[in-house]
Amino acid sequence: MDDNGTMRYAVRRLFNSHPKFEVCGEAEHGREAVEKAPNLLPDLIILDHSMPVMNGLEAAPLLLKLLPEVWLILFTVHEGQELRRLAHIAGIHAVVLKRDASTHLIAQAEALVAQGFAA
């Protein structure tokens, strides 16, 4: 989920071009993701850090309450240990910088999904 339509399109194309993944939905903000996720039942959700209505850090605990076995990746332009610490507290399993999307996003998604269900 990302509030930027161009970024959602790019991430969707990246995942749809990979044989192991199928995009089942997308959202503009965290509240929409929380509303859609129980019907879509994704294995993995990519959350943007900065969004209107509800950001990724706010949405993560709600998503995990609804879908405790879902993997969560925080997708962000922001760097730093404090953000990683907050992401961990929120239950997010990995943080990927947007500038590294083409090289790290799929690899991180594969690594998480290969582990089986989130704990």
pLDDT digits (tens, 9 = 90+) for 21-38: 999 999 999 999 999 999
Whole-number pLDDT of residue 84: 95
- Find, among 56, 38, 36, the residue nearest to 47 by Cα: 56
Query: Tokens standing for 63?
Result: 């998503």
CB atoms within 10 A of CB 30: 24
Whole-number pLDDT of residue 71: 97
Contacts of residue 86, defined as CB under 8 A and 6 or more positions apart, other chains included, come to: 57
CA atoms within 13 A on the CB side of 33: 32
Q: pLDDT tens for residues 44-88?
A: 999 998 888 899 999 999 999 999 999 999 999 998 899 999 999
Q: Which domains does the chain show, CATH number per domain?
A: 5-114 (3.40.50.2300)
Whole-number pLDDT of residue 57: 96
Rg (CA), the chain: 13
Give the span between the Cα atoms of 88 and 21, in whole angstroms: 24
Average pLDDT in the chain = 91
